[in-house]
Structure 1
Amino acid sequence: MPDRANRGVDMRLKGWLCLSCATMGLAAPAMAQEAKVSDQAIVVTGSRVIKNGNSSPTPLTVVSTQDIAAVQPTTIADGLNLLPVFSSPRNQYANPNGGVAGGAGGNAAANQLNLRNMGSVRNLILFDGHRVPSTSVNNIVDVDMIPQMLLQRVETVTGGVSAVYGSDAVTGVVNFITDRKFNGLKMQAQGGLSTYGDGAQYNAGLAWGKKLGERAHFEMSYEYRKDEGVSARSSRPWFRQQSVQGGGTAANPYQLFSDIRINNLPFGGAITSGALAGNYFASNGVLSPSAAGTATGSSCCTVGGTGGYYDSSLKAKLESHQLFGRLDYELGEGLNFYVSGLFNNKKNEQFITPPVTSNLTMGASNAFLASSYQNTLAAAGQSTFLFSKLFSQAPRLNPQAESEQFWVNLGLDGKLGAWDWSVAYSNSASRLSTTLHNNVNNQKLAAALDAVTNSSGQAVCYASTVNSAYAGCAPLNLFGPSSASQAALDYITGDTHLRAMTKMQDISGSLSGSPFKTWAGDVNVALSGEWRLTSYASTSDALPTTMANCTGLRYNCSANTVLWQNTYAARSRVSNTVGEVAVEAKVPLLKDLPFADALDVTGALRYTSYRTSGQYWTWKLGIDWHLSDKLRFRATRSRDIRAPTLDDLYAPSSIASLQNRDELTKITPGLDAGTSPVAGYSGGNPNLRAEVGNTLTAGLVWKPANTFSLALDGYRIKISDAITSIQGYNPTIQNACYASGGTSPYCALQSRPLGYSNTSAANLVTAWYSTVINIAEIETWGADLEANWATKLAKMPASFRFMASWQPHIYYRTPALVTIDQAGAAFGTNGLQASPKWRLTAFARFKPTDRVTVDIMERWRSAMKHSTDPTQVWVNNHVAPFATTNLNVAWKPRNGLGDAEIFLNVQNLFNAAPPATAFFGASTIPGQFGGFAIGDDPIGRYFTAGVRLKM
């Protein structure tokens, strides 16, 4: 029998790639796709010594980009997120986040991959085997930067491989692989629209490749993508201002309500103190009695009533340009040079909240207040009153994030005797420019609110009469739903900016070969080393330390008033360097025995030294046992790390105005009458260590026939010293403090005047604090199943694929806090998203004629709870299961233009609406956050038509 280690890419590898991994295509088409791959040298993702995917002890998912596009013709990330191993991604559908930075390290709509729902920071992204530079300060890659026109396949390792690739590969690796031998011309164009007539998408691209002489090959691609997004949640019939209200106790349980309104924030504004309290401006200038609506158990909100609500983006806008090029040149026999480069420009834009004005001090003789109301206040001896409003007439906060990535990668590879060697250098920069349109200037707002009548009977700003700096002030009339002038709106709002630059330089090298043989075959060994420098710096023109100048301002300005309502701190350049060396080996132990067709053991060991966070050893052991050609068993055990990011270590100190409920006094600052928002302080922690993951995988692959296969793999991942954000305003953190009577270390995350047992209004919290620490432990386990069957229906090819992920537990353990099992939860604290215990995806492909192909995909997730916190009491803590169906019909016409394909794709064929759910910690912002679980489809039925051409 020939030596298995030297077989190369044979038909069994093709069968493995096609039938034993999660290739999204169907068996026959996928096998044809992999036949093309066989012409190239295969290096299996997750190892430097395994050349045959059929011998990998680690579960490996392979998807062809052609098959991804057949069921989800949008972005590559959208297609990958159909696979059950990925869960709850942050993307264009993610809940919008406020602030000039837009969340997610600067772009709340970044397309991120999340393996096992343990966070995008814990899986590593590669491009042709090289580490992809992060696109944000939090070290997460927006995979929209990956050029798609020349992508051939995506390989995903669903297990820890830090010993092979270094930090971040705790839950796995996603490797995007290009077709480096593409010759010819490829073009595509497509457009799409939702069944509601919105969310238009356009995509066009071309790729060209050619062999230059006998030694060189060049290829390049360009792609343009535009997605208009959906700018309002109210555009969907299922949107009903869903929000969780209550206190989570037996006396006041949490409950999901619809049509939630914020009591003291009506669109026309409400007077919240004095003789006119309890009235609001239902129409411009005219007061009406407030209607409270139906109580919900939360002081902030009611069902119905005269209060206002938010209406944020449902899907962020996207526009991008991608350029990619690669040159390969054979310098001599066994010596090759390559250089590749990419440029990506991407814009995301979304709409969040209109300005919120809570308990503002207004003069009783305000020029816009009717004389009858002025007389009432004068009779009561009031010179001022408090006023609150959800300012829906003003434009919503509108963060626009523009990111540009530059990446150049060059290298040499060749042979040194029987050894293969390679060296590579990459240099990258990611520039993120975030503009927050419609940010409110607090100083100008204070000036514009204080309107007086001049000698000509006109309303003017009081400040303009005493300070020439306010000569351009336009007085603001808040008394009514549409009472403000455009001049006043323009005066109080402006654009603020964050500029951030992340850079990475990387030098790597490897040497691999077979130094000797055992009785079972060649021993393969690989030595590798890497040095990496990353840096980050940012500038901001809306600093949290820039205070308003209160000279000439009578109300709503103090020494503690920040100039802009939404701020982001700047950061001088910070950097980190890491050096790594590693060794990996594959040792054949048995061959051609009755109980072992082949038995191989693999191992890897890596030493990593970070300038900032210390030195670490990582390792991995694996076994691959081919009992026969039909049955194999595999298992791995690894120790992996994730080093703290530059943001974890050096995030600048910042301050924000928070309206989170104080669980001790039961008051919501800024929303309850007579209160103002509370300052929230946050920053990085330079004393962080790396978190350590321990992973075990074990499984089998059964292939009784060439037309059928089944793979089943179990896993267990346990992460210690997990880096987590501890937020003082988090209800769970608060309650841990109060239960201790003030002795808990979590009490240091808040400030209040009268200790931690006084529940009176006089003891309202005065500040919240947030930090990042190595404190948590995360543990999960589960199993992945895949079955594939190729057959014929009416003598025409057909194939079926079924994939399932079962993840019954995701434990988050934090000292002095109750353990949270996030599995089966729609929302959780610290940004945790939907974690259904069962995720199923099924594909079917039929070819009724040789020119027509029909693809059907069905995706289903199990029922969940709104929250799985065991300390909480709920009314109907249930989120229904959800399923969607995609249909694609492709037709290849007979023509002389080469290989052409015209397709029509329908996503969410039956227009399924996502079950209602919301986050219990977002009760005060109905319509901004929540309403559906991340991962569910909120857009509805969507049509895409297009053409693809290859010559």
Structure 2
Amino acid sequence: MKQLFATTLMAGASLFAIQPAQAQGAPASAQAGEASADADAETIVVTGSRVITNGNNSPTPITMVTTEALTQAKPTTVFEALLEQPLIAAARGGKTAGSTGQGGNNNSAAVLNLRGLGATRGLVLLDGHRVPPQNLDGTVDLNQIPQMLLQRVDLQTGGSSAVYGSDAITGVVNFIIDRKFNGLKLNTQVGISQYADEPTVNIGGAWGKELFDGRGHFEASLDYRYDAGLFRTDRDYVQKLGAPGWTLQGNGCPGGTGSANCAPYFITNTAVDSLGTFGGKINQITGQPAASINGVSVYGLDFTQNGAATPFVNGSSVGFGTNQLGGGGGWNNEQVTLATPQKFLQAFGRFDFDVSDNVHFYVMGFYDRIKQYSSFLNLRANGASASSALAQGFRLTPDNAFLPDNIAAAMKGAGVTAFNLGKYFSAAQAPVSSTSYTNQNFYVDAGFEGKLADWNWNVSYVGTRVSQANRSNQTWSTARLFAALDTVKVNGTPTCWVLTQAQYAANFAGCVPLNPFGPTSASQAAIDYVRQPTYYEGITSTYDFSGAITGSPFETWAGPVKMALSGEYRKIGYELRSDAPPANISALDCNALGLLPSRTSCVQQSATNIGTTGTYANGTAARSPVSQNVAEGAIEVDVPLLKDVPLAQDVHINAAARYADYNSKGNVIAGTPYTTAKFHATTWKVGLDWHVNDMITIRATRSKDFRAPNLSELYTPGRSQGLTTGTDFLTNSVVGTGGYTLTQQIGGNPNLKPEVGNTTTAGIVFKPSPRFSLAVDAYFIRIKDAIVFVDGSLVQFQNACYDSGGTSPYCALQVRPGGFSRTPANQASTNAATLFFTNAPINAATLRTSGFDVEMNYKTDIGGHALGLRFLGTYQPTLRTLQPSAVTTDAAGVSVPKVRLQGMINYNVSDEFRIDWTTRWRSKLANVDPLLGLQTAPGSLYVDPVTYSNVNFSYKPKPSLELFFNVQNVFNQKPPPYAPQVTGAPGSLSVGFYPSDDAIGRYFILGARMKL
């Protein structure tokens, strides 16, 4: 009934839309970017152009949303409110935090994603100036944007590289500051969920005043937010939100229905790993003899209690990998982050002054300090695979000091010299892997604006320094872990074996024996010994100088021609300081340390084996400084063609072109000489704005845009790892047989070139009266030379290289001195001693998407009080990735809902009381991309559509004071089970629901706003 009510309300709201957003105090149609006829057009900041000063004349679709409208709907952060906009899809941050990979990226950052095409393909601006990235991967954390003095947010969805430069392929998100705020405003609010968890607190204030008889102005704000966050184990999800542990099992029958080992994909919340448990399961190592106790094999014994083993309880096979349904298996991410714990403090200030009648100076800046925390998964070691040369678990020996005597005796009597313990360290025994982030952002924007005759000019400087100090809390020293696990009894006392060997003892002074046999068997002292928290600080700095001049060089019969010339020079630098060892670059010398491969899981590095890395999880090595210099020049013109003729009240052509030159310097492999990567890009844009009459406007754009490879893609520090499975398809050598191992190097690619986007938009705006407007815009985006990470060891890319005889770009993803052609000599030679594959970004894909956006706005009066309705909708039927020698995939309807809708209603019940209602809806999703042609069990392919609603009640006892009560997820809608193919087995489980769905449940916010 609740769902029906919400859906009905959405349908009603879809007939209209809310009162248009306010642009500098003038009514503006949210998507058309309109300004009222009596507004001062010169004060309107039109995103997407340097020469258009009236939003009515923008050929590019712009969705304008006031901060007031966002906070009325969702008074949390501007980022979280924007996540409900249909234009945003597959954004990162807020609900679900990801892991921190090599390079120290903060995947808990608040990162928007226009149309699901990737966060780095959309540009973030603050008052029209580029906001530099916080992460090495080029993404911008929107939590840094000052909110107390934010006036509105513009979402411009056409390509804009010709106007703003790189990254504006999918559009621009422009945060506009209220530059003329006067007075004092305060905000305070608290929030808590229906289940009395995830508390939040917001306190903020802003002040502004005119100075020097109106020639100057100063404003400042301070904002503090605390969010306790939420983890999966904080609740009984089965009772409150439905079990989130949904995974996709089976193999999809890649050989077709009826093929051998065919197991159609299906979703379940009972799948567990059959090779590892929280207590530890004894698994047999290939080649070791059988052993039993009273006829019961020791292999398969599970330590369900500390020091006490019982036969492992098998579940039912799922026909894929090592997983099973039910039974005694382990689970490896008890405490995944559902809402990121965070605290942030924002301080903002702006001063401007009229130096003369024609010269204006301004300076603004902000400081942010943001603390965030993310937990990921339990440390684990599963059972060794029979085909693996590297043990995927903890190799132990029968003389282990903590192994029960009867099991040890049975093993020794049978001649067992080693076994493997499939083991998960639960949160009750050892904290799950987690990372704490402390980000400090310094931002300064200063410049002059002036008028010279009939021309306007401006020059500006933006300087930033971002420090992202990360602490990988549960990084474990691999060496210490193996040493602590390898124990023997000395005079009846458990002792690390290495301490009994004089030649090794000095390597592990203070070693604390670790007991792995049981759910909570390990002592805290042992856990503390093997933990090796690593600290690393990523520092990003930007220096950006820009200038522009605009004016009208001449007029035509239809009006003045407007022109803008602009130039920009910026430098971005990045470095990563770390106290971690060069993880994944220098392997452990097992034999020299005393971590003998016969007794431990340590694998000695050799010519054919990469060996074991120094840290077990999340260690990030240092990154020496790398940099990118950019010089750009651009021109934009707006030419009126017709005016006040039949069927052409006003017709304009807007055109822009830009040339950019990039120079990047750095290296991928530590210690190697720096190289320079140079490339350039030319972009352009042409737009038509055709006012047929007062009611109808037709608009269209065509643009060529680009995205330059960022410092992460060019220079992510290289690291090497050994692959436990794989085949060399030139020599048909299989990993784990004949001593053959497969080595892989992961890192950046300094030979990348820019991505190129081609965007077409076409739309119509219908406004029969000042109270109603309708805008419909279609879009077509094609991105070629798209940068994607490609694993050169995969069969399709190996064969593409060999079939080409070495000419395929995929050949750059492996090193094989003997060449790549399929000659008998090559195929007979293993080349194992020097062969390795690369997993790196290359310009290999083409992205295509299309669809249309709809926006309707309506305002009226009921009973003498204002009623506003607004509807936003996006239909995106396709989002395809095409890559040579790879299967074409379509994210539309899989990771991006094809239909995303939002309806809003606000009604002033009286002069003091107002109600705001917001409902959003997404269409169904598929767990498996239908284009892959894989088999899915009935009921497991599609994820149900879902509706979420918010309501806000505000009361003004007097004009200067507003009290509000907000309810998020009014109907406490549970997130439908979602287990896309990428999550696969429990070992890579996400959280079992779509990230933009609500996992918090009904949430209450109570607050007050004051403005004096």
TM-score (norm 1): 0.90
Summarize the Cα distance change of 1:741–1:920 in structure 2 as closer, same or farther, 3 Å threshold: farther
Structure 2: state its 5+ residue gaps.
1-19, 257-261, 285-289, 292-297, 383-392, 606-610, 664-676
The one-letter code sitting in structure 2 at the alignment partner of 1:547 is A
The one-letter code sitting in structure 1 at the alignment partner of 2:192 is L
Which residue of structure 2 aligns with residue 106 of structure 1?
A: 105
Whether the 8 Å contact between 1:710 and 1:788 is mirrored in structure 2 is yes
Whether the 8 Å contact between 1:186 and 1:208 is mirrored in structure 2 is yes
Whether the 8 Å contact between 1:569 and 1:653 is mirrored in structure 2 is no
Which residue of structure 2 aligns with residue 547 of structure 1?
A: 587
Which residue of structure 1 aligns with residue 55 of structure 2?
A: 53
**What secondary structure is seen at the aligned counterpart in 1 of 2:681?**
strand
The one-letter code sitting in structure 2 at the alignment partner of 1:220 is A
Structure 1: state its 5+ residue gaps.
1-9, 24-29, 826-833
- Post-superposition Cα deviations, 1:795-848, rounded to whole Å, max 9, x if no partner, equal 3221111111011111111011122122111xxxxxxxx211100000011121
* Length, aligned pairs only: 910
**What secondary structure is seen at the aligned counterpart in 2 of 1:487?**
helix
Which residue of structure 2 aligns with residue 3 of structure 1?
A: none
| 1:561 aligned onto 2:612 | yes
Whether the 8 Å contact between 1:13 and 1:53 is mirrored in structure 2 is no
The one-letter code sitting in structure 2 at the alignment partner of 1:872 is L
Whether the 8 Å contact between 2:466 and 2:539 is mirrored in structure 1 is yes
Distance 1:308 1:389 in 2: 8
The one-letter code sitting in structure 2 at the alignment partner of 1:64 is T
Cα offset for 1:735? 9.8
Summarize the Cα distance change of 1:656–1:692 in structure 2 as closer, same or farther, 3 Å threshold: same
| 1:510 aligned onto 2:552 | no
Distance 2:210 2:25 in 1: 30
- Match among 458, 476, 494 for residue 459 of structure 1: 494
Distance 2:740 2:329 in 1: 18
Summarize the Cα distance change of 1:55–1:659 in structure 2 as closer, same or farther, 3 Å threshold: farther
**What secondary structure is seen at the aligned counterpart in 2 of 1:649?**
helix
Which residue of structure 1 aligns with residue 662 of structure 2?
A: 610
Summarize the Cα distance change of 1:742–1:583 in structure 2 as closer, same or farther, 3 Å threshold: closer
After TM superposition, list the pairs within 5 Å mapping 1:641-656 onto structure 2: 641-655=706-720
- Match among 297, 306, 316 for residue 284 of structure 1: 306
- Match among 363, 366, 374 for residue 408 of structure 2: 374
Cα offset for 1:134? 0.8
Distance 1:261 1:751 in 2: 38
Whether the 8 Å contact between 2:263 and 2:318 is mirrored in structure 1 is no
Cα offset for 1:277? 0.9
Which residue of structure 1 aligns with residue 765 of structure 2?
A: 701
The one-letter code sitting in structure 2 at the alignment partner of 1:47 is S
Which residue of structure 2 aligns with residue 475 of structure 1?
A: 513
| 1:871 aligned onto 2:933 | yes
Distance 1:538 1:486 in 2: 31
Cα offset for 1:939? 1.5
- Post-superposition Cα deviations, 1:226-264, rounded to whole Å, max 9, x if no partner, equal 111112257233234211122221322222121111111
Whether the 8 Å contact between 1:242 and 1:927 is mirrored in structure 2 is no
Whether the 8 Å contact between 2:21 and 2:64 is mirrored in structure 1 is no
| 1:793 aligned onto 2:842 | no
Which residue of structure 2 aligns with residue 18 of structure 1?
A: 28
| 1:88 aligned onto 2:139 | no
Distance 2:74 2:802 in 1: 49
**What secondary structure is seen at the aligned counterpart in 2 of 1:468?**
helix
**Pairwise CA RMSD:** 3.3
Which residue of structure 1 aligns with residue 17 of structure 2?
A: none
Whether the 8 Å contact between 1:222 and 1:323 is mirrored in structure 2 is yes
Which residue of structure 2 aligns with residue 246 of structure 1?
A: 250
Which residue of structure 2 aligns with residue 345 of structure 1?
A: 369
Distance 2:437 2:797 in 1: 32
Which residue of structure 1 aligns with residue 3 of structure 2?
A: none
Cα offset for 1:480? 0.7
Which residue of structure 2 aligns with residue 6 of structure 1?
A: none
The one-letter code sitting in structure 2 at the alignment partner of 1:271 is I
TM-score (norm 2): 0.85
Distance 2:356 2:324 in 1: 76
The percent of aligned pairs where both chains have the same amino acid is: 40
Which residue of structure 1 aligns with residue 476 of structure 2?
A: 440
The one-letter code sitting in structure 2 at the alignment partner of 1:19 is S
- Match among 348, 358, 363 for residue 334 of structure 1: 358
The one-letter code sitting in structure 2 at the alignment partner of 1:707 is R
- Post-superposition Cα deviations, 1:191-243, rounded to whole Å, max 9, x if no partner, equal 11112222111111111111112221111111111111112257233234211
Summarize the Cα distance change of 1:680–1:179 in structure 2 as closer, same or farther, 3 Å threshold: same
The one-letter code sitting in structure 1 at the alignment partner of 2:318 is T
| 1:848 aligned onto 2:909 | yes
The one-letter code sitting in structure 2 at the alignment partner of 1:141 is V
Whether the 8 Å contact between 1:68 and 1:79 is mirrored in structure 2 is yes
Whether the 8 Å contact between 1:240 and 1:259 is mirrored in structure 2 is no
Cα offset for 1:707? 1.2
Which residue of structure 2 aligns with residue 172 of structure 1?
A: 171
Cα offset for 1:487? 0.6
Summarize the Cα distance change of 1:531–1:459 in structure 2 as closer, same or farther, 3 Å threshold: same
The one-letter code sitting in structure 2 at the alignment partner of 1:500 is G
Whether the 8 Å contact between 1:94 and 1:108 is mirrored in structure 2 is no
Whether the 8 Å contact between 2:461 and 2:545 is mirrored in structure 1 is yes
Distance 2:740 2:1001 in 1: 40
Whether the 8 Å contact between 1:404 and 1:430 is mirrored in structure 2 is yes
The one-letter code sitting in structure 2 at the alignment partner of 1:241 is G
Whether the 8 Å contact between 2:21 and 2:27 is mirrored in structure 1 is no
Cα offset for 1:750? 7.9
Cα offset for 1:383? 2.5
Distance 1:841 1:11 in 2: 15
Which residue of structure 1 aligns with residue 982 of structure 2?
A: 921
Summarize the Cα distance change of 1:626–1:233 in structure 2 as closer, same or farther, 3 Å threshold: farther
Distance 2:622 2:510 in 1: 30
Cα offset for 1:185? 0.9
Distance 1:677 1:842 in 2: 57
The one-letter code sitting in structure 2 at the alignment partner of 1:221 is S
Which residue of structure 2 aligns with residue 803 of structure 1?
A: 872
Cα offset for 1:921? 3.3
Which residue of structure 2 aligns with residue 189 of structure 1?
A: 188
- Post-superposition Cα deviations, 1:869-894, rounded to whole Å, max 9, x if no partner, equal 42322223111111101111111113
The one-letter code sitting in structure 1 at the alignment partner of 2:497 is Y
After TM superposition, list the pairs within 5 Å mapping 1:51-450 onto structure 2: 51-97=53-99, 99=101, 106-214=105-213, 215-232=215-232, 235=235, 236-237=237-238, 238-249=242-253, 250=256, 251-273=262-284, 274-275=290-291, 276-309=298-331, 310-311=333-334, 312-358=336-382, 359-392=393-426, 393-450=429-486
Larger mean CA deviation between 90-99 and 377-386 belongs to: 90-99
Whether the 8 Å contact between 2:23 and 2:152 is mirrored in structure 1 is no
Which residue of structure 2 aligns with residue 779 of structure 1?
A: 848
Cα offset for 1:900? 1.2
Summarize the Cα distance change of 1:372–1:300 in structure 2 as closer, same or farther, 3 Å threshold: same
Cα offset for 1:625? 0.7
Whether the 8 Å contact between 1:293 and 1:302 is mirrored in structure 2 is yes
Distance 1:736 1:313 in 2: 40
After TM superposition, list the pairs within 5 Å mapping 1:687-726 onto structure 2: 687-726=751-790
**What secondary structure is seen at the aligned counterpart in 1 of 2:753?**
coil
- Post-superposition Cα deviations, 1:4-44, rounded to whole Å, max 9, x if no partner, equal xxxxxx99999995335289xxxxxx99xx99985972231
Cα offset for 1:547? 3.4
Larger mean CA deviation between 736-745 and 463-472 belongs to: 736-745
Whether the 8 Å contact between 1:193 and 1:201 is mirrored in structure 2 is yes
Whether the 8 Å contact between 1:233 and 1:313 is mirrored in structure 2 is no
Which residue of structure 1 aligns with residue 388 of structure 2?
A: none
Summarize the Cα distance change of 1:658–1:109 in structure 2 as closer, same or farther, 3 Å threshold: farther
Cα offset for 1:744? 8.3
**What secondary structure is seen at the aligned counterpart in 2 of 1:799?**
strand
The one-letter code sitting in structure 1 at the alignment partner of 2:870 is R
**What secondary structure is seen at the aligned counterpart in 2 of 1:773?**
strand
Whether the 8 Å contact between 1:241 and 1:926 is mirrored in structure 2 is no
Cα offset for 1:285? 1.0
- Post-superposition Cα deviations, 1:499-532, rounded to whole Å, max 9, x if no partner, equal 2111111111111111111111111111111111
- Post-superposition Cα deviations, 1:660-685, rounded to whole Å, max 9, x if no partner, equal 89999xxxx99x9xx99986521111
Cα offset for 1:365? 1.4
